[in-house]
């Protein structure tokens, strides 16, 4: 008797993606390196150019490669950002809180030292919008609050911190949603945001970090 066929047959594009990702993981190409052309990859992998093209589009969408029209494809990263998002989506509330203490608190301390007048204008605007929704629809408030917190991190003027926080902000949003669904919103908690902005404006990093910790522990 012949073996049973798998219930789900993997497409040629999925198989091509596996082979390309394996090469990236093995370090066959380094970040910034120009990848082989579609005909070269087609011959190497033993698949059609159309399949290669579709696989490359998926890699470009996930941020692993950059396709430059008329120039070729270049390796942009060795870690798939979509895999990172999947891991973050499984983060527990306690792990989210711990990570915020490590990432967000320190970034806000830097923001208090490095913020510009332009940063302050953007922060005041974001906090005003957030405040207008504090007692309204929860999802709208969370979206506005995340804008304020992202701008705080951006005020540290460290692109790496900003990029990390953008990936992590979805976890922050879920943490807030969980807590605010259980605990009623209190004005004194929102007022901590006002005090936090004041500490950043006054260039007081230790006060800013202390207020950030308080907010994280009591959203």
First to last CA, the chain: 62
In contact, 162 and 169? CB cutoff 8 Å: no
CATH of the domain spanning 83-217: 1.20.120.530
Q: What is the number of other CB atoms lying within 10 angstroms of the CB of residue 98?
A: 13
Same fold for the pair 12-79 and 83-217 = no
Give residue 125's pLDDT: 96
What is the rounded CA–CA span in Å between residue 154 and residue 166? 10
Give residue 170's pLDDT: 76
Look at domain 12-79 and name its CATH class: mainly alpha
* Consecutive H or E run containing 207: helix 205-217
Give residue 89's pLDDT: 64
**Residue 157 CA neighbour count, 13 Å, CB half:** 10
For the whole model, what pTM was predicted?
Answer: 0.63
Q: What is the mean pLDDT of each run of 10 residues along the chain (219 residues)?
A: 42 86 89 92 91 89 85 84 64 82 94 97 96 90 92 95 83 80 84 96 97 87
Tokens read off for 155? 């005020």
Distances in whole angstroms, Cα of residue 200 to Cα of each of 28, 114, 149, 208: 45, 9, 12, 6
In contact, 75 and 64? CB cutoff 8 Å: yes
Residue 179 burial class via C-beta count within 10 angstroms: exposed 0-12, middle 13-18, buried 19 and up: middle
In contact, 205 and 112? CB cutoff 8 Å: yes
Q: Could you state, in order of their start, the residue ranges of all structural domains in the chain?
A: 12-79, 83-217
CA-nearest of 198, 204, 197 to 113 is 204
């Amino acid at each position: 008797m012949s073996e049973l066929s798998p219930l789900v047959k993997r497409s040629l594009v999925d198989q091509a993606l596996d082979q390309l990702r394996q090469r990236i993981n093995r370090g066959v190409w380094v970040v910034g390196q120009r990848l082989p052309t579609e005909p070269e990859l087609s011959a190497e992998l033993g698949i059609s150019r159309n399949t290669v093209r579709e696989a490359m589009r998926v890699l470009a969408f996930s941020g692993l490669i950059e396709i430059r029209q008329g120039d070729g494809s270049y390796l942009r990263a060795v870690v798939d950002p979509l895999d990172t998002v999947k891991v973050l989506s499984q983060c527990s509330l306690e792990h989210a809180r711990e990570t915020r203490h490590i990432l967000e608190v320190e970034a806000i301390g830097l923001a208090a030292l490095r913020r510009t007048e332009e940063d302050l204008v953007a922060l005041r605007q974001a906090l005003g919008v957030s405040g207008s929704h504090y007692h309204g629809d929860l999802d709208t408030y969370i979206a506005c609050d995340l804008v304020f917190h992202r701008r705080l991190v951006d005020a540290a003027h460290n692109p790496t911190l900003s990029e990390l926080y953008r990936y992590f902000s979805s976890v922050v949003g879920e943490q807030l949603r969980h807590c605010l669904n259980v605990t009623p919103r209190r004005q004194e908690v929102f007022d901590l945001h006002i005090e936090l902005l004041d500490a950043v404006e006054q260039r007081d990093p230790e006060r800013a970090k202390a207020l950030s910790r308080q907010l994280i522990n009591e959203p």
